[in-house]
Structure 1
Amino acid sequence: MALLRNILFLALTLAFLSACSFPVRTGYDRRIGGYKPARTAQAQQPAPQTTSEPAAVATATTTPQDTVKPPRQNSSAKAHAAINKKEVARATPKKATTLEGVIKPWLGTRYKLGGTSKSGIDCSGYVMVIYKELYGIALKHNAEGIYKDERGKKVSRGDLKEGDLVFFGDFWGISHIGIYMSGDRFTHASTSKGVMISPMNDKYWSPKYKGAKRFK
């Protein structure tokens, strides 16, 4: 009986110790009273260094745009161009700036009543065209009308200057007009000889002289 109690007591003691024992934990070693060091992953082996050459980095090289230069002219081309310019200058007539120069192309133009061109012109038309071209002054196409134009200033025979207008006529009034020139001459469109230059003391025109006017 005593033995039975001892066995029962021992069984209870073992059961109690089993219940109070620490649970088995992963990595815990009762023999050493602690946790075993966890296995670490194998040390990572360094990646093998590649001996390949680094990829060439493409660099965009910008080249400045070439400056477009005009083709150089050789000396012969320049000389040829200079000659051409001179020829053009000679071929282009210069505008006359003197009375004698302006009337020169008109000399010999036939008389035509009412005309105003080189195909035919009358005395007042001739004066009108020359005055407009040389002095920029617009006049009437009528000798008597020009004589009465108040823009003109009367000039005595002894004070005549180149460009003054000279008038001729008879008892009935003014019938002819011309432009005074240096050397005591005048240019006009004669009914018989067309555009011409005559002396002021011409035996036909001198007695018919009626006066002069200055418009410029």
Structure 2
Amino acid sequence: MKNTLLCCLAAVSLALSFFFDYAPDGKAATAVGATGPIAEASLFTFPDGDNPASFRDSLNVGYYSQALGIKADFDDNASLLRTITEWLGTPYRFGSNSKKGTDCSGFVTRVFKEVYGINLVHSSRSMFNNVKRVGKDEMQTGDLVFFRRGPGQPIYHVGIYLKDGKFAHSATNGGVMVSSLQQPYYQRNFYAAGRVNVN
């Protein structure tokens, strides 16, 4: 309990330090990007306009990174990380895309709809045909990773790249989880990565 409280206080302190510059010469602190000095910090001022969800997400990035097993930064896509975290443990169900059960492409379509408002086709092969290819060494958080069982074989699996060589996906033997591209099975069957235009 004591460690949890200390972690929470440290996270809040770190988050507030992003919004205010300290003036050691006795001048008032100014908000980053503000036009003039401010006397005090407001608990109701959010970094993304008036979006409290964005502020909450930025504070919770540490939680998301721990849940997903990655080293996330405060400037990472917190909304994407939050949404994937909420799907962890959803059982696998072929042809479905709900939290009662989902297959790999169903999981990807739901996450992209929830985070970006983008409707992707519920098919890993169709997704592959509608992304911009990126090199394995150029992958970014949110890119799609595709798998096939050897040369000439069709794509059979898709996931969402996180970082640190890890990706989120719905596996037939465990549902929505985070796996590593370095695991022999995924390393052997990895085919390509692609980027969806989310703008």
Q: Shorter-chain-normalised TM-score: which range?
A: 0.5 to 0.7
Unaligned stretches of 5+ residues in structure 1: 1-92
CA distance in 2, matches of 1:154, 1:204: 22
CA distance in 1, matches of 2:90, 2:98: 9
| Aligned equivalent of 1:5 | none
| Aligned equivalent of 2:141 | 162
| Aligned equivalent of 1:56 | none
CA distance in 2, matches of 1:106, 1:133: 11
Structure 2: which amino acid aligns with 1:114? Answer: G
CA distance in 1, matches of 2:166, 2:81: 11
Secondary structure of the corresponding residue to residue 155 of structure 2: strand
CA distance in 1, matches of 2:158, 2:124: 6
Q: 1:110 aligns with which of 91, 107, 115?
A: 91
How far off is 1:203 after superposition?
A: 1.3
CA distance in 1, matches of 2:192, 2:163: 17
| Aligned equivalent of 1:211 | 192
Structure 2: which amino acid aligns with 1:115? Answer: S
How far off is 1:94 after superposition?
A: 4.0
| Aligned equivalent of 1:134 | 115
| Aligned equivalent of 1:193 | 174
Deviations, residues 20-60 of structure 1 (Å, cap 9, x unaligned): xxxxxxxxxxxxxxxxxxxxxxxxxxxxxxxxxxxxxxxxx
CA distance in 2, matches of 1:103, 1:126: 9
Structure 2: which amino acid aligns with 1:162? Answer: T
Identity of aligned residues (%): 39
How far off is 1:200 after superposition?
A: 1.4
| Aligned equivalent of 1:14 | none
**Further displaced range: 123-132 or 97-106:** 97-106
TM-score by length of 2: 0.58
CA-atom RMSD in angstroms: 1.6
Larger proportion of helix? 2
How far off is 1:215 after superposition?
A: 0.8
CA distance in 2, matches of 1:185, 1:98: 17
CA distance in 2, matches of 1:215, 1:133: 14
TM-score by length of 1: 0.54
How far off is 1:210 after superposition?
A: 0.6
How far off is 1:148 after superposition?
A: 1.2
CA distance in 1, matches of 2:133, 2:184: 24
Higher Rg of the two aligned structures: 1
Deviations, residues 171-215 of structure 1 (Å, cap 9, x unaligned): 421000000002221000000010000111111111100101101
